Amino acid sequence: MTSATALSAPIDGKLKKAIDVAFEDVLNDPYSAKFTYDRLVERGAGVGVVCGTVNAKNKMGAYVGKRVFTAVYVKDTAGAFHADPKVWDEGVSMSDISVCGNGK
C-alpha cells in the first residue's frame, strides 16, 4: 500500500544530504541548487520517493526556473540513505507525476 503525505516536518537531514549528493551528477551547477521538498511517498520500510522542486544555474550561469524533481530513495541497514534523482521537463507539474500522488 502506498501513502502520499505532504511533509509536515523537515526532511531527515541524512536523506536531504543523499539527494543533494545524487544531484551532483545531474545538474550543471549543483552548488547553486535551491530545493523544496514538498511530498514524501513511502513505499515501505526505508523505501520511498521525495517529490519537490529544484532551481539551479545552467552552463551560462543563469537560473533555469523551478523544475519538478523526484528522488527514489532507500535506507540501508546501516541507516544511510541512497537516492536516484530525476528532473522533469519544464511544464511538468507534481500532479502530472503519478508517484507523487495528488497531495491530499
78 versus 93: which is more confidently predicted?
A: 78
- φ and ψ at residue 15, rounded to 5 degrees: -70, -45
pTM of the complete model: 0.82
Q: Which pLDDT tens digit goes with each residue over 9-44?
A: 467 899 999 999 999 999 999 999 999 999 888 888
| DSSP string for the chain | --EEEE--SPPPHHHHHHHHHHHTTT-SEEEEEEEEEEEEEEEETTEEEEEEEEEEE-TTS-B---EEEEEEEEE-TTS-EEEEEEEPPTT--GGG-GGG----
